Amino acid sequence: MTGPNNPPDDKTQPGAPDTGESDPEAETPQDAFPTSKSGLIQFKGPEWEIWPFNMMHQSFQLSQKSWHDALDSFDGVPPREKYIASIAAQQIFDMASPANGVWSNPEVIARTMSEGGTNLLRGALHLAQDWQRAAWGLPPVGADDYRPGRDVAVAPGKVVYRSDLLELIQYSPQTETVAAEPVLIVPAWLMKYYILDLSPQNSLVNYLCGQGFTVFMISWVNPGAQDGDICMADYLDAVTEALDGVGSIVPDARVHAIGYCLGGTLLTVKAAQMARDHDERLKTLTLFASQIDFEERAEFQMLLGETEILMLEHLMSKVGYLDGKHIAEAYKVLRAGEWIWPRHINDYLMGRRQPMSDIEAWSVDTTRLPGRAHSEYLRSMVLNNAVAEGRYDVDGRPISLGDITVPVFSVAARDDRIAPWRSLFKLRQLVKSSVTFALTTGGHVDGIIGDPDGRGQSYQIGRLSKTADAINATDWQERTPCQDGSWWPELVGWLRSHSDSARKPPPMGGFKGLAGATNDAPGTYVFQN
């Protein structure tokens, strides 16, 4: 996953033309040097326009550009190796920024002089506290203020089904009538599900319930060493179990299925399997930042090759899982200009604690990744692109995304570093049904999570069909008008357009034939460390 504020790596603004001459559908992340955007933030103040600080940051930025141009000019270097070199160079530039030094940052100098150095003393105490918490395996300062069920994940509901792999949560209705079709949300397994149920004002669950939908959510178990044999087939079967549970509570109704990130990838595979097997329980398919075609890989995925996957498989074979904290920390290092150095300046040099947001706290609450299933995902889907190319087997037979005929609503974020939006745009060429495609501002998390008011947000939206193959991503972006606000109301309107007449809310749980549970939301699995 990514941080809450992915800065844009695409200089093209929504609705503005791309001046590049290459086909954007053929562009891949490794082709461009990922220059740090932190400098654009760090050097904004008027203090940076005074000599000698203006000279410092201008020289620094010119050096970055020179390296950018030099790396881009290398011919005959494989794209992946060029990309790895660019990552190493950017790490050096992020660390060497004049904003990171006490005597090269005019804002730090001014604060140090006005406080007589007490800011540096507070910063040293902050650093010592952070080191101590890290050594003891404690979460960062502020994370304890976001406890599920108390501060986040507070939408009322019940755990109506539990298996070894999931808890199924049914949320309490908020309206007198609801859409005939229930909503089932499948989250990714890297982070806890409550990214979609944070504080009430930015909880998608709360919003959908308030708009007259019956909402169910999967909460995945946090696998341990005993779960090393859990595979992708088990997760696909778990989605079937969830659909069975939803169908027992809301019988004779098809389902609006929603998947986020890897949960969306998993859900798309399940949708293709269901279409192949003539299982018609899905009414619609909605995907949030979910990559299906990995021909164009994100920067983090670009670091993965056969050797790296073999190393991960060896590591996971010993303990049965891969700790999600390692992935989160690795991503923070790769994006040090956004995650590490701004906090270094604020907490240690300025001497003030930057409050942790609910999204940051959620990103700390990682889960373990089941070894076998994660290995299958990396090798089959990411490295070999088997799903998009029709070479992925489920129950011993290949699936085809072309079998999917239910309406699709796909949401991509323009600055997403995990699931590149141009790659998500290709979905229209893979499925038989038409795709409503929404491109929103923000990154992998803040592009999806916001609030219905959409303050400071904007999006583009349009309906695509497979016959519109001539429209590439940049052409679509240029021609589609940009709208202010949140895309959430667009999703609700789309779901309603594919829903039957309203009815009374279904009962809360209490179905037969499955392992019922009676815990209140957010359940028990969300608390597993």
C-beta of residue 201 within 8 angstroms of C-beta of residue 449? no
Question: Can you tell me the mean pLDDT for 148-153?
Answer: 90
pLDDT surpassing 80 at residue 314: yes
Q: Count the Cβ atoms, other than its own, within 10 Å of residue 63.
A: 12
pLDDT confidence of residue 468: 54
- 84 burial level (CB within 10 Å; 0-12, 13-18, 19+): middle
> Residue 524, SS3?
coil
pLDDT confidence of residue 86: 81
What pTM was computed for the model?
A: 0.86
* CB-side neighbour CA atoms (13 Å) of 227: 21
CA 361 to chain centroid: 14
pLDDT confidence of residue 500: 94
Separation CA 74–CA 34 (nearest Å): 15
Q: Which of 175-189, 194-208, 461-475, 507-521 is predicted least confidently? A: 507-521
Of 441, 378, 432, the residue nearest 414 (C-alpha): 441
Per DSSP, 481 falls in state P
Q: Which residue has the higher pLDDT, 307 or 349?
A: 349
What is the per-residue pLDDT across 30-70, written as a single tens digit (0 to 9) for each? 333 343 344 445 788 889 999 999 999 999 989 888 887 88
Question: Can you tell me the mean pLDDT for 413-419?
Answer: 88
Q: Which residue has the higher pLDDT, 265 or 76?
A: 265
Percent of the chain with pLDDT over 70: 89
Of 436, 385, 403, the residue nearest 271 (C-alpha): 403
Residues in Cβ contact with 53 at an 8 Å cutoff, skipping those fewer than 6 apart: 47, 98, 104, 105, 106
pLDDT surpassing 90 at residue 301: no
Q: Please report, for residues 420, 425, 460, 492, the alpha-carbon distance to residue 471 in angstroms, rounded to integers and kept in the order given.
A: 17, 10, 15, 26
Here the tokens at position 267 are 């859900």
Instruction: Work out the pLDDT band at 274, boundaries 50, 70, 90.
Output: very high
pLDDT surpassing 80 at residue 395: yes
Question: Can you tell me the mean pLDDT for 73-93?
Answer: 80
pLDDT confidence of residue 300: 66
| Residue among 209, 231, 261, 482 flagged as catalytic | 261
Question: Can you tell me the mean pLDDT for 273-277?
Answer: 97
Q: Which residue has the higher pLDDT, 20 or 424?
A: 424
pLDDT confidence of residue 64: 86
Active site (annotated) includes residue 209: no
Question: Dihedrals φ, ψ of 497, to 5°?
Answer: -65, -20
Question: Can you tell me the mean pLDDT for 10-25?
Answer: 36
What is the per-residue pLDDT across 235-258, written as a single tens digit (0 to 9) for each? 999 999 999 999 999 999 999 999
pLDDT confidence of residue 247: 95
